[in-house]
Amino acid sequence: MSERHMKLGAFLMAGGHHIAAWRHPDAHAPAGSDIDHFIAVARIAERGKFDMIFIEDAAAIRERNPDLASQAARSTAFEPLSLLAAIAVNTSHVGLVATASTSYTEPYGLARSFAALDQLSGGRAGWNLVTSASELEAENFASSGLRPHSQRYERAEEFADAALALWDGVEDGTYFPAGGETFADHSKLHPVHWHGKHFAVDGILESQRSPQGRPIMVQAGASDVGKDLAARTADVVFAASQTKAEAQAYYADVKLRLGKYGRGQDDLKVMPGISPIVGATEEEAKAKYRALQEFIPDAVGVALLASYLSVQDLSAYPLDGPLPEMPQTNLIQSRQQLIVDLGKREGLSIRELARHFAGARGHWQVVGTPSQVADAMEERFLDGAADGFNVMAPLFPSGLEDFVTLVVPELQRRGVFRKEYEGRTLRRNLGVASPSKG
Amino acid sequence: MSERHMKLGAFLMAGGHHIAAWRHPDAHAPAGSDIDHFIAVARIAERGKFDMIFIEDAAAIRERNPDLASQAARSTAFEPLSLLAAIAVNTSHVGLVATASTSYTEPYGLARSFAALDQLSGGRAGWNLVTSASELEAENFASSGLRPHSQRYERAEEFADAALALWDGVEDGTYFPAGGETFADHSKLHPVHWHGKHFAVDGILESQRSPQGRPIMVQAGASDVGKDLAARTADVVFAASQTKAEAQAYYADVKLRLGKYGRGQDDLKVMPGISPIVGATEEEAKAKYRALQEFIPDAVGVALLASYLSVQDLSAYPLDGPLPEMPQTNLIQSRQQLIVDLGKREGLSIRELARHFAGARGHWQVVGTPSQVADAMEERFLDGAADGFNVMAPLFPSGLEDFVTLVVPELQRRGVFRKEYEGRTLRRNLGVASPSKG
Ligand SMILES: Cc1cc2nc3c(=O)[nH]c(=O)nc-3n(C[C@H](O)[C@H](O)[C@H](O)COP(=O)(O)O)c2cc1C
Ligand SMILES: Cc1cc2nc3c(=O)[nH]c(=O)nc-3n(C[C@H](O)[C@H](O)[C@H](O)COP(=O)(O)O)c2cc1C
């Protein structure tokens, strides 16, 4: 009945989203530095008609503590824009979303790199804008330490505006105008004069106009200021919501903010994460899940939980008791809250929470048959909790392969997911409005 | 007789190095934004056993003056690191050198992007370090305007040192140690604590060690401080020398500086530019040259000359008279000097200089048969003027194709150029020493 289709993103991670993926016999351990592995995984997503693949990022090693090194094993050795440029020329339809921070670069350089990816891919680039909450990143770039949350977002607002202005400053058909004596039609270039508190840009982007108008903007902010920035500038928001009620609340909250900025309800797609573990039967799915969980050492799980909570250490507390009361910090407020809430709601011990979060890292996890997974997705999709999902396969390539082979056809059969790409650009496939000029 | 082989770089430019390349019927006009064109050209270079391809850069449009737009037609719409990532996965042996400035980014981010390109390509990345002398770039990044030459180099020195420290901070075999219970052997990670006047970095590069030890460092400085930086940190220097005597003087000068830094004569390869126009016969070569020169409008040539000289305008002076006396500026001192010297030495008029520079842009131009071109190269190679050449084909792909088909076999026959790649990494092919650790 529904003509509305869900959007799907494939959140790539070297060996898999599961913390112990790299220890699993099916995983390709050095995946993070193997470009052929990433290209193969991207092609699986494209075969599954995914709107996009998504590469997370932090410009730092992921973990200072050697005991937690497993955490880092999931990440890639490739800076995301370089990685996606290499994938772009080996794919044809799937969108390519790279994470990049507004805290340690300048808008001109980043706008230009995304424009390049957009040209290379024929209009499939997207930018996941983050403000970088990690101390480890701050140390790589500044002696002054991590900026407070509010300053990071002030900078992000300016950064986004400057980048948007640069992309919009070049009209379609500027270069090699038909029958032209000159190489560029300068009347179609609109110099940007953008002066803010953090940045000044007086120039024209060295690029043609994007084949999709401009790159897609993605955001995953969970704070008020983060959700406002998304409502004003983003085409897609990712979220980490455990329960359906949480997801609905987040969805309603973000959609409500669109009005303030004169945007329509369909202009921003809300795509919460889902961590699916799929088996032909329920037994098989559960066995797959158990096989993964077995590889998590308790020490790793608990240390990881502490790092999610932004506390130094949890080893003073009994493993089988509840979480202690937590101080609020300005770091990743939302994830912290999510963990505390889940612990209270389901009465979980530190060990249980650790296992749970070590596995799916706070994202919604569904273990089941293709139709059980499709049911769960369809329900949230139809009940105002999601416009689509950011699929976090526990293992690569096998977890994504399972999803594409088993769940995608089920979603297609139900008429809630595309059978063919609508077009060649990410914007066209997402069905979000194009910026005016060009 | 000589066992010493010359090194060859292919300096790519969208449609060609010749200013009017894009107007030529053989040129593919929108080459600058066509990734397939660049991949095809890179493969021609690889077929010719070139050590590397080279991508120049400026993070800005190339020309404010619409009358000079032709100048910009040579440049690419792709930021170089993205472009080379896409080329990396479509080539197997040729080195990949991207230009990047030290003036508008931070060492951690750039070191990481080059590390990614190095991993993607299996050890074929190189960084052409520039300080960005262009006002147009400065305007895109700072309201404060262009920094003076000395400050740019002070920053470049720090930038290079921090990047080298980051690359050297990760040993070989750090990740997935054999039989290891943890993903990383932390004893092989050496945190960098680099604090200078311009940058502070306290961290570890998020990358494996480069397959070639670290990326190749390229420089094209012509000032004293530029040559010193190259002698201290570079593996390759590019140069723009017109006459053999100039080339010899530059060569001797740079090589002499190596001693100061405890480096050997072979540790730095000097590769001046050559702009070859090759024909099966001398007549054919000359006809090719004339066909290109015919496409240069006088107005474009003269305005371009003015911009090379960093003067506003030359239109007050008679086209057929000599250059007026020039004020020294702190901008690109060397190129300015080169033009003034050539004008005096050969008694050229403004029009003649304009044509000349518009064509080869101050680089050494050789028009002739394969054996004439090989003679000219061999002479400079054997007479202490060059360790190799940075080949600037007037047109792409045909100009490079000519060189690879006609000149390369001639150089191979004479025993001055390789018949097969020595290895898979750029460092191995260049034959320059590896850094110690790892
Ligand atoms: C699916 C998802 C992916 C994210 N990816 C990144 C990332 O790659 N890099 C990063 O620094 N932050 C990432 N974040 C964190 C968010 O950008 C954001 O900082 C966080 O949700 C807290 O929200 P706030 O910044 O509004 O406080 C991600 C969050 C989610 C939900
Ligand atoms: C072959 C060659 C390529 C160059 N490529 C670039 C480039 O891509 N971007 C840039 O800003 N400067 C480039 N330059 C300029 C040099 O980096 C350098 O700034 C210039 O030669 C003046 O020397 P100096 O900086 O020591 O004064 C190039 C120079 C040469 C000879």
Q: What domain count does chain B have?
A: 1
Look at residue B89 and tell me if it is in a domain: yes
Look at residue B214 and tell me if it is in a domain: yes
Chain B residues whose beta carbon lies within 8 Å of the beta carbon of residue A206: 58-62, 75, 77
Region of poorest pLDDT, from A69-78, A195-204, A252-261, B167-176: A69-78
- Total CB pairs under 8 A between chain A and B: 193
Q: pLDDT, tens digit, for every residue of B316-355?
A: 899 899 998 876 664 456 677 878 888 888 899 998 888 8
Output the average pLDDT for chain B.
Answer: 91
**Cα gap B332→A394, rounded to integer Å:** 54
**Cα gap B85→A82, rounded to integer Å:** 6
Which atom of ligand 2 is nearest to B153's Cα? Answer: 25
Three-state secondary structure along A343-371? HHHHCCCHHHHHHHHHHHCCCEEEEECHH
Chain A residues whose beta carbon lies within 8 Å of the beta carbon of residue B136: 203
Look at residue B270 and tell me if it is in a domain: yes
User: Between chains, do B140 and A203 touch, taking CB under 8 Å as contact?
Assistant: yes
Q: B141, B76, B66, B73: which is closest to B102 by C-alpha?
A: B141
* Ligand 2 center from residue B220 Cα (angstroms): 5
Peptide bond into A397 cis (omega under 30): yes
Written as one letter, the residue type at B76 is: T
Residue partners of A208: CB distance under 8 A and separation at least 6: A115, A119, A170, A174, A175, B33, B77
Q: pLDDT, tens digit, for every residue of A203-218?
A: 999 999 999 999 999 9
Q: pLDDT, tens digit, for every residue of B177-210?
A: 776 667 788 889 999 999 999 999 999 999 999 9
pLDDT at A221: 92
pLDDT at B2: 45
Q: Quickly state the pLDDT bin for A66 (edges 50, 70, 90).
A: low
pLDDT at A2: 45
pLDDT at B62: 82
Q: pLDDT, tens digit, for every residue of A313-334?
A: 888 899 899 998 876 664 456 6
Answer yes or no: is pLDDT of A409 > 50.
yes
Q: Quickly state the pLDDT bin for A434 (edges 50, 70, 90).
A: confident
Over residues A187-203, the mean pLDDT reads: 94
Q: Give the closest residue (by CA) to ligand 2 atom 9.
A: B57
**Cα gap A19→A303, rounded to integer Å:** 12
Over residues A158-173, the mean pLDDT reads: 96
Q: Is B53 in the pocket of ligand 2 (CB under 6 A)?
A: no
Structure tokens, B250: 């530059």
Element (H, E) at A246: helix A244-258
Percent of chain B topping pLDDT 70: 93
Q: Between A438 and B50, where is the model more confident?
A: B50
Q: Are A250 and A239 in contact (CB under 8 A)?
A: yes
**Cα gap B263→B428, rounded to integer Å:** 18
Q: Between A69 and A47, where is the model more confident?
A: A47
Structure tokens, B415: 């025993």
| Backbone torsions φ then ψ of B426, nearest 5 degrees | -65, -40
Containing structural domain, residue A392 = 7-280+364-430
Q: What is the DSSP letter of B43?
A: H
Give the chain B residue whose CA is nearest to the CA of A185.
Answer: B66
pLDDT at A70: 60
Q: B52, B58, B59, B112: which is closest to B88 by C-alpha?
A: B52
How many CB atoms within 10 Å of residue A311? 15
Please write down the long-range contacts of B412-417, taking CB distance under 8 Å and 24 or more positions apart. Answer: B414/B374, B414/B378, B415/B1, B415/B2, B415/B3, B416/B2, B416/B4, B416/B5, B416/B6, B416/B377, B416/B378, B416/B381, B417/B5, B417/B6, B417/B8, B417/B49
Q: DSSP H helical segments within A182-243, as ranges? A: 224-233
Measured at the CA of B80, the angle between CA B240 and CA B6, to 5 degrees, comes to 40
- CA-based Rg of chain A, rounded to a whole angstrom? 22
Region of poorest pLDDT, from A225-234, B342-351, B403-412: B342-351
Residue partners of A283: CB distance under 8 A and separation at least 6: none
pLDDT at B438: 42
pLDDT at B307: 80
* Ligand 1 center from residue A203 Cα (angstroms): 30
Q: Which ligand is nearest to the CA of B128?
A: 2
Chain B residues whose beta carbon lies within 8 Å of the beta carbon of residue A201: 139-141
Q: Are A412 and A418 in contact (CB under 8 A)?
A: yes
**A7, β-bridge pairs:** A388
Residue partners of B406: CB distance under 8 A and separation at least 6: B278, B280, B370, B373
Q: Are B221 and B230 in contact (CB under 8 A)?
A: yes
Answer yes or no: is pLDDT of A17 > 70.
yes
CA distance readout (Å), A393 to A65, A278, A352, A359, A378: 26, 10, 21, 11, 18
Output the average pLDDT for chain A.
Answer: 91
Q: Are A351 and A302 in contact (CB under 8 A)?
A: yes
Look at residue A193 and tell me if it is in a domain: yes
Q: Quickly state the pLDDT bin for A297 (edges 50, 70, 90).
A: confident
**Cα gap A186→A204, rounded to integer Å:** 11
* Ligand 1 center from residue A65 Cα (angstroms): 21
Look at residue B285 and tell me if it is in a domain: no
Q: Look-up: residue for tokens 């120049």?
A: B56
Residue partners of A292: CB distance under 8 A and separation at least 6: A18, A20, A21, A24, A277, A359, A394, A395
Is residue B123 left, alpha or beta, with left meaning phi > 0 and alpha meaning psi from -120 to 50?
left
Chain A residues whose beta carbon lies within 8 Å of the beta carbon of residue B175: 30, 32-33
Q: Is A9 in the pocket of ligand 1 (CB under 6 A)?
A: no
**Cα gap A271→B166, rounded to integer Å:** 37
Over residues A182-207, the mean pLDDT reads: 91
Over residues B77-82, the mean pLDDT reads: 92
| Backbone torsions φ then ψ of B162, nearest 5 degrees | -65, -40
Over residues B171-176, the mean pLDDT reads: 87
CATH assignment at residue B137 = 3.20.20.30
Look at residue B250 and tell me if it is in a domain: yes
Q: Quickly state the pLDDT bin for A438 (edges 50, 70, 90).
A: very low
Look at residue A325 and tell me if it is in a domain: no
Give the chain A residue whose CA is nearest to the CA of B144.
Answer: A200
Give the chain B residue whose CA is nearest to the CA of A29.
Answer: B176
Nearest to A143 among B83, B195, B207 (CB): B195
Look at residue B346 and tell me if it is in a domain: no
Q: How far is A179 from chain B (nearest CA, A)?
A: 11
pLDDT at A84: 98
